Structure 1
Amino acid sequence: MKKSIYIIFTLFTSIIYGQNGTIKGKILDKQSELPLVGASVELLGSETPRGVITDFDGYFTLTDVPVGRKAIRVSYIGYETSTIPDIEV
């Protein structure tokens, strides 16, 4: 049985540098609430594949994200893959 992922994220949009924003967040184990080090976070639906890996504390930052509704997919070995749709940047 695979474990569940708990995702905490915040959105930032930067108009100074054009029409791009940033998605930041933290990936945790849903049951223990411990950070997941090395979880893969992928921006879906972009022209060029874009993704990052979480740091030691489970934090990630996706930069230069085009403005609009976006979706991210989070995956980690031994856990169910989770997709978060309709993130407005």
Structure 2
Amino acid sequence: MVKPEIRGNVNFEIKIQFMQELKEDTFSGNKNEDIHDHIAAKRWVDRLSPDTINSWDLLKKAFLERYCPPSKTVKQLEDIHNFKQEGDESLYQA
């Protein structure tokens, strides 16, 4: 999600129609889609009260709190820092 660039003193809000569109089922079964991730995200969106998310900043904050908690970020950084390619592995395999 990219926060749109808004110049000047503009009051920007997410319209209720956008939140309703997020709740629609858009899973297509593509091999690059994970049904478990899709269901989890859909349940998360369904639980959001339309009156609580009315700006990009609030949607971003709610999403990051749910899917990118600090503990998960720390674990991922540890995995990156501890990456080691074994002698018999290609970079792709590692």
Fold similarity call, TM over 0.5 = no
Structure richer in helix, relative to its length: 2
Q: Which has the larger radius of gyration?
A: 2
Question: TM-score, normalising length from structure 2?
Answer: 0.23
Structure richer in strand, relative to its length: 1
